A and B are shown apart, each in its own frame.
Chain A
């Protein structure tokens, strides 16, 4: 049974609502969350009250730290960092306190904390509200990192995050909030560390993350018309990463293109490329290719921002070069 077409934002709202109804330990903390800039937490304060949906002062370090402390006692805080760019303000709490609590305590502590945040360019928000920083948190052992590409996955993955002993960094793409999807009335959790095969194909594997899945699908459709069959894989979680499924796909197709909106260097794309070549170099018919933004900050001007963001044309071009064997 489905609840019909729902936006990505509404699907996340539904997942939060479902978890909050089941467990009073789940509480929401963040800036302006009762109003909710993107609508994800809208209406929840009316249902669960100000004690469970708390607006925070503009003090990311202390309120993320407070959430870490509360999680150490068994509460399940869902703390919102409005833009992932703001992780810079509170990175110590993420990098040192949240990520390492379980390890440093020899397993005595659990940290059922979810940090919800947003990523992504495309709306002229400028260089400090548009970055995609999943690679930063993925590189830190002890954090789980989720970056859903559609509302159905977003809801199922968030439900898993809310039940996890964490910590989880859950990165939503601002550009996807309005996208519609068929979300079921009761959301079913989706396990971490399992890719979603968006479409099957035999000629090339395209690993695409978050909002990059859509242009990858569009490119694959065009290439299909030309007789090139693309397999698209969405990792869904970059930590844990379902490397086995990606390797199995590349072993089958012999070609890999990684499309990610994050860093051109030391990023998700570079990481996946390095890991795949180490495992199945002999299966490769061409060097692994990456499509990412250039190694520059996100520009403000719309035309420049469009040029900065990976487009369908960039993916097509890279795919055709791969098919030509270089």
Chain B
């Protein structure tokens, strides 16, 4: 395990090598509360999705984001209108932070006509182009090429927008990732390759599948700079995101961010997670939880007290409950929809 023990204080391995402390974003109280609220929304949403899966209301594959919340919250706080986001199958968190409608996302999980893809996509296949969210992709690594294409389009149109292409430590071993790196640097496309390193590719620990486990180095032979970031600390993520976004907007081409993070649940709902111990999970939950870290900052900084945070939790739970209610009551898709949105 390479996650730093106390995210705010301890250096990440990369920072150690470079002999400097990991940069932390200096958040205002309002920003910190916003980060906390967004992370809380993801967690409560995913907990509810997990429950509903258990009740048989959600079928097939369902990959929960619990544990990794600081990654999307920190990264996407650095984006602006017109920027693009694309990710793999573990996509609920990315959507919620991109301001996609929680009701439409939950109703997609239940496969209803009110779902964001009208029940045709399911958990892994959701899109909201108006919000800059380009999916939600089921094939590991394929979104890296697509995300390079989103950056290509920004470059072609000559705007200063960026593409944020997320993938995991598992996808980092797909060949098209490196083909994409080559092309992105060749043409200096504005793409931030975000490697969400949650330590396990399905059930295979990173060191069992990767000859080089420091994934931020994977761009070196393409001359793409890389940085390892404590993905459990939203302020470290935000600082790295600002730097990466500025790099891309300045026309300097692609950049790689490796976010060291951890998922608390199994790979998908059907994963009993026998490849790691309960103690390992519990240790990270109790010592490095992204929400607890920010909560402590809020309380210690006197920004809000316990009662106010409880009220926020209640508010967030109400949003999630409303989404769950909608997702159960929205009608099943009309069977005629089988034949729409498909060519030939």
Contacts and interface: CB of A to CB of B under 8 A. Distances in A.
Interface string B177-195: 0011011001000000000
B343 A106 contact: no
A96 B142 contact: yes
A108 B129 contact: yes
A105 B127 contact: yes
Contact of A62 (B135, B148, B153, B344): B148
A192 B343 CA distance: 11
A119 B146 CA distance: 26
A245 to B, nearest CB: 16
Interface stretch (A138-146, A277-285, A300-308): A138-146
Nearest to A109: B127
Interface in A54-87: 56-57, 59, 61-75
A57 B343 contact: no
B5 to A, nearest CB: 38
A80 B156 CA distance: 19
A104 interface: yes
**Interface SS, A side:** mixed
Contact of B156 (A27, A56, A92): A27
A92 B142 contact: yes
Given A61-B145, A69-B147, A96-B142, A105 B342 contact: no
A102 B342 contact: yes
A62 B179 contact: yes
B121 interface: yes
B153 to A, nearest CB: 4
B341 A62 contact: no
Given A97-B137, A144-B344, A240-B344, A106 B148 contact: no
A288 B153 CA distance: 49
Given A51-B156, A69-B149, A167 B340 contact: no
A230 B117 CA distance: 48
Interface of A: 27, 51, 56-57, 59, 61-75, 92-93, 96-97, 100-109, 141-145, 166-167, 192-193, 239-241
12 contacts: A63-B183, A66-B145, A66-B149, A67-B149, A69-B145, A69-B151, A70-B149, A72-B146, A75-B152, A105-B120, A105-B121, A108-B127
